[in-house]
A and B are shown apart, each in its own frame.
Chain A
Amino acid sequence: MPPILQSSEVAYRYPQNNRGLVPVSLSLERGQPLLVAGTSGCGKSTLARCLTGLIPHLYHGKLSGSVRLDGLPTARTPLWHLAERAGLVFQNPAAQMLGETVEQEIIFGLENLGLPPDVIGQRMAEALERFGLEPLAGRPPQTLSGGEQQKLALAAIMARRPPVLVLDEPLSMLDGTAAVELVAYLDTLAAEEDTAVVVCEHREEYLSNVTGLGILRLGNGQPPSTGDLPALAPGGLPGPGGEQYVLEVEGLTVELGGRPVLEDLDFRAGSGEVVAIVGRNGVGKTTLLRSLAGLQKHEGHITMGGGHPDLGLVFQNADLQLFNASVREEILYRVPEPDMALYRWLLAGLGLDRYEEMPPLLLSEGEKKRVALATVMMRRPRHGLLLDEPSLGQDTAHKERLMRVAHALARAGRLVILTTHDLTLAAAADRLMLLGPAGFVADGPPAAVLDDATAWAELGLSVPDWLVRPRPDGREGP
């Protein structure tokens, strides 16, 4: 059988930052699943664009080598013709929504195939049913949760029935259950419907059970060395200086658009802790962090050290926080008498040394998030840090770096609270809290909470078999 997708030494360089993709050759037959793995910034998204023809049709950097899709050379075939053969689901589903409603989102791609209206109606109904989107058919896509948007993005592509499906980090915004469901669907798609599936993904553990999965590793295949976290002079990390503060949250209630998001939430957390909060998409994790940072109107009391907590919030979307011409300027922006030892420590600890003079907006999503974290830390928030989904776009090595920085902060007497879908990150915290629609359903050391099957079932989530559990003494491993 001739390959449906073939690349021969395809390589690409973006004109603005000289980054891109090193030469890649691959060959894929119908029904074959392929995982493209690699470290942050190794070119996975670029490869996805090369395979579907967006490069070179929409990008004008330097392309070499060739890609053939269903026998057609992508560089010389009109994009609409290629789009009929390969569907691409992008990393951020919210940004790719074009329709006013869920139905219209699906219809858009079907209209472009030139199908008669009755066939469009039929295929739309099938897609809604298949992806469980019928109850949401009339809703604007932007009002859906991240998991629902991901399903819709996939439904809109799969209704077009392309023989090749390419997904760029499809699991990054999904909670554990939604990620497992998506992987099961992709497995079926490849095995039973003869679709070639290419998944570019950091969270490769989730794909380990896919039948006949091929793996292509970009880069040198080795994770970058994280090195040791450099030492910082005592007192270099801004902290409460030996004082112990307790964050007290009582009766926290938040309504958004008339809908209760958090109801009567109570908890306490002390300085010196790294707390991970895990919950399903849309359960209110971000709203909780916004409330703790003083950005969200709420009912109830939030105090730390007798007043409102001074906790720096690092947003999920780093683009909101970055605007300077270089990483250095960004981190030092409006910091009175900056502590340059802390600055150097942050650059080294977060793996940003080599980007110091680069514009932050040209960095990868994961790198930008680390710059945003450094900018907030340089401000020296008195009580600690709040990190909203810090693992997005980070490979394993950089997740490790993040957690080491978080623990260093905790040792300096600060409180670090992070929300995450990534259980490897959660397992590395000091304390794990599971947030459900009715409040926290479990709270304790990660080793104990990860083994609390009842709590996970109540949440509608599960702990994957491959997760390395921390030992009760806090160390990783069996």
Chain B
Amino acid sequence: MIRLGIAGRTRSLALVENSPLRRADPRTKLALSLCASLAVMLSLEKLAAFMVLYAVLLLWARLLPEAARQVWRLKWVLLVLFIVDWLVVSRELAVVITLRLILLAGAFALFFATTTPGELRLALEWMRVPYRYAFSLSIAFQSVGLLDDEWRAIREAQQARGAWVPPTGWRYLVSKVGDLVSLAVPAIVMTTKRAWAMTEAAYARGFDSPRRRPYRQLRMGRLDWILLIGTVAVAAALLLWR
């Protein structure tokens, strides 16, 4: 028996429906993202040049705003890393590390902003990942957005019974760390219960059946082949150019 991941309601990554990559095969997009990730091994000048090329691809795919949003979410991590690298090693390394992280965030955005959890599952199955694990991963991906909602609901519920007071000021915050128990325990319990409920629901509909036959099959189209050939060419160039 396998326990499934948390249940899903919303996606923290918005699906960009009007992107031309939305209709592409998830395997193609995975290849594109992996190829972009390869560029992290380039030196600063080449990395900067590649990033311009990648930005053009994102612009064509109407994914630049979404990629920018994902990078913005990492702003504090990027800032801290940049300062630490600059102070400890050098400014050049700080810039390279920051650009690499931005590139990885962009590669992540390209795949997840155009791929549904179901498509991810099909791609994983094609890669010979056993169905039960592919299914669990896709459910976990589907569920990410729910965590925010649940955390908010728990905070409100505890507030309503007077067990949690919204902290103000850092001293107060420190003294209230203990209060996190009142939030963490229900969060763990709810996540575990939800995972268990989904596990039961899946098994009650024959999740472990050896007869399973997928309704939807992956098919490569013309756009996929063009993108894939381009990706292979860029990947080869990156390996030779570095």
Residues of A participating in the B interface, judged by any CB pair closer than 8 Å:
49, 52, 54, 57-58, 78-80, 83-84, 87-88, 90, 92, 95-98, 100, 104, 107-117, 120-121, 140, 142-143, 156-157, 160, 290, 293, 295, 312-315, 317, 319-323, 333-334, 361, 372, 375-376, 379
Query: What is the CA–CA distance of A121 and B215 in the complex, to the nearest angstrom?
Result: 8
CB distance from A103 to the nearest CB of B (A): 10
B9 at the interface (CB under 8 A from A): yes
Q: Is the CB of A117 within 8 A of B200?
A: no
Q: Is the CB of B206 within 8 A of A109?
A: yes
Q: Is the CB of A98 within 8 A of B139?
A: yes
Given contacts A120-B215, A320-B157, contact A109 B162 (CB under 8 A): no
* Inter-chain contacts of A379 with B (CB < 8 A): 161-162
Residues of B participating in the A interface, judged by any CB pair closer than 8 Å:
1, 7-10, 116-118, 139, 142, 146, 153-154, 156-163, 181-182, 184-186, 189-190, 193-194, 197-216
* Inter-chain contacts of A312 with B (CB < 8 A): 160-161
* Inter-chain contacts of B185 with A (CB < 8 A): 323
Q: Is the CB of B212 within 8 A of A111?
A: yes
Across the two chains, which residue of chain B brings its CB closest to A107? B215
CB distance from A95 to the nearest CB of B (A): 4
CB distance from A55 to the nearest CB of B (A): 10
Choose one: B116, B160, B208, B213; the contact of A313 (CB below 8 Å): B160
* Inter-chain contacts of A375 with B (CB < 8 A): 161, 163
Q: Is the CB of B204 within 8 A of A52?
A: yes
Query: What is the CA–CA distance of A121 and B213 in the complex, to the nearest angstrom?
Result: 13
Given contacts A96-B197, A100-B118, A315-B160, contact A54 B204 (CB under 8 A): yes
Q: Is the CB of A83 within 8 A of B154?
A: no
* Inter-chain contacts of B205 with A (CB < 8 A): 83, 87, 98, 108-109, 112, 156-157, 160
Given contacts A84-B206, A111-B213, contact A98 B197 (CB under 8 A): no
Across the A-B interface, give the 5 residue pairs with the lowest CB-CB distance, nearest first. Answer: A114-B211, A323-B185, A112-B206, A96-B201, A142-B9
CB distance from B201 to the nearest CB of A (A): 4
CB distance from A42 to the nearest CB of B (A): 20
Across the two chains, which residue of chain B brings its CB closest to A141? B9
* Inter-chain contacts of B139 with A (CB < 8 A): 98
Sample (14) of A-B pairs whose CB atoms are under 8 Å apart: A58-B199, A80-B210, A90-B204, A96-B201, A98-B7, A108-B205, A114-B209, A115-B213, A160-B205, A295-B156, A319-B189, A320-B153, A323-B184, A379-B161
Given contacts A98-B201, A100-B118, A117-B215, contact A321 B157 (CB under 8 A): yes
Most buried by A among B204, B212, B214: B204
Across the two chains, which residue of chain A brings its CB closest to B135? A98
Across the two chains, which residue of chain A brings its CB closest to B8? A142
Query: What is the CA–CA distance of A121 and B8 in the complex, to the nearest angstrom?
Result: 24
Across the two chains, which residue of chain B brings its CB closest to A321? B157
* Inter-chain contacts of B189 with A (CB < 8 A): 319, 322-323, 361
CB distance from B198 to the nearest CB of A (A): 6
Query: What is the CA–CA distance of A112 and B160 in the complex, to the nearest angstrom?
Result: 43
Given contacts A140-B9, A312-B160, A321-B160, contact A90 B154 (CB under 8 A): no
Q: Is the CB of A80 within 8 A of B198?
A: no
Query: What is the CA–CA distance of A83 and B203 in the complex, to the nearest angstrom?
Result: 8
Q: Is the CB of A111 within 8 A of B197?
A: no
Q: Is the CB of A100 within 8 A of B116?
A: yes
Q: Is the CB of B190 within 8 A of A319?
A: yes
Q: Is the CB of B163 within 8 A of A334?
A: yes
Query: What is the CA–CA distance of A157 and B211 in the complex, to the nearest angstrom?
Result: 17
Q: Is the CB of A321 within 8 A of B186?
A: yes
Q: Is the CB of B207 within 8 A of A80?
A: yes
